[in-house]
Amino acid sequence: MNYDALFADQLDALRDEGNYRIFADLERCRGQFPKAGCHGADGLSDVTVWCSNDYLGMGQHDDVLNAMHAAMDKYGAGSGGTRNISGTNHEHIRLEAELADLHGKEAALLFTSGYVSNWAALGTLGSRLPGAVILSDALNHASMIEGIRHARCEKMIWKHNDMDDLRAKLAACPVDAPKIIAFESVYSMDGDIAPIEAICDLADEFGAMTYLDEVHAVGMYGPRGGGIAEELGLMDRVTLIEGTLAKAYGVVGGYITGSSHLCDFIRSFASGFIFTTALPPAIAAGARTSVAYLKASAKERDAQKRQVAKLRAGLDRAGIPHLPNPSHIVPVMVNDPVKCRMLADILMDSHGIYVQPINYPTVPKGTERLRFTPGPMHSDADIAHLVQALSALWSQCALSRAVA
């Protein structure tokens, strides 16, 4: 059996569909973000990164870096093992306390990534609560979908942000069944926002718990960066808030927050926590510093909002189609996988603009896009250059422009 030939056949099919992913070989240099070096056939070239999830540039912040250096010098490199055996460090405890305070919850629990926290928490809740039903928004992230699969409990998929459909699904559940409504606040591909209050109202009416993924909102919204639920004054109504340290906080790791009993339940039964090496203490120290900083500083969030508005205005003037939404995510719609890949390549090669094409399976076929995430460190000149480059490409490739 020629296994490599089997692998190659499927990779070739992916290329033919325009969905083969090519990674740029980048160097993020301290103090220069969003500028980066890109290694290519002609050596190292300068590019501007437009698709980073380090939304506020905190991965470059001196306070965060200094905290990580100090922790590395104090504790060493690794964590020493799983939290259950030899890997719990005082920095983990301090970070969990910071996160619990951020969301107004009794407790928090750290994971190695946001993907793992969703997979482990949803998988554990669904499998350990007898007769549980998980009601999942149709556009939930792959990590949530995997967690629900792992749970092997009954699941219901409700239409995206559709309260009538959610109500119908809840009404169809057994009255005495534990019900878990799983949804996100900011959906990262379209940038739309869930009706959190209406979902909480339905949860109260039908006796369900709410599981809110705030990974694209923590650090970004609310007076202290607690996310959309904090901005709307709803954190106390959400049973479990899940987040990441790898986006607006600029480091890495995931977490859940909730009651002491809930977090202890996940800690005690989730294989994705029990058998995984803990985050290095330097990572935890840097993340804690970032969370604490953004609790007190709104200037990064305010500057980011200004740059998002400027980019959208520039795209409107140029007739470049982009999805309207109230968030920081600016999806420029191409709706063709081959053209989307081609546009990204030309932007990189000819204009020094790095943006990854977003194709299937991340988004449905026919909705391919370039996903831009303007940040406080993108200058007005960066925005003008991006809009000019996109406008030229729209003309060059005879793409349809938006009608004002």
> Is residue 381 classed exposed, middle or buried when 0-12, 13-18 and 19+ CB atoms within 10 A define those classes?
exposed
- Beta-sheet pairing, 254-258 with 330-333: unpaired
Q: Alpha-carbon distance 101 to 86, whole Å?
A: 26
- Six-digit token string for 91: 């920095």
Cα of 213 vs its chain's centroid, Å:
9
Helix or strand or coil: residue 241? strand
- Six-digit token string for 227: 């996310």
Q: Alpha-carbon distance 143 to 120, whole Å?
A: 9
Q: From the candidates 105, 155, 169, 247, which is the catalytic residue?
A: 247
Any idea what DSSP says for residue 333?
E
Any idea what DSSP says for residue 93?
H
Q: Alpha-carbon distance 22 to 25, whole Å?
A: 10
State which H helix or E strand residue 47 sits in.
Answer: strand 43-49
Q: Alpha-carbon distance 221 to 298, whole Å?
A: 9
Is position 305 annotated as part of the catalytic site?
Answer: no
Compute the C-alpha angle 369/374/380, nearest 5°: 120
Among the listed residues 25, 19, 53, the one whose alpha carbon sits nearest the alpha carbon of residue 341: 19
Q: Alpha-carbon distance 183 to 324, whole Å?
A: 20
Angle of helix 380-396 relative to helix 299-318, nearest 10 degrees? Answer: 30
Helix or strand or coil: residue 233? coil
Among the listed residues 218, 152, 190, the one whose alpha carbon sits nearest the alpha carbon of residue 333: 190
Q: Per the omega criterion (within 30 degrees of 0), is the bond before 376 cis?
A: no
Residue 4: which region, alpha, beta or left (left: phi > 0; alpha: psi -120 to 50)? alpha
Helix or strand or coil: residue 117? helix
Give catalytic residue positions. Answer: 247
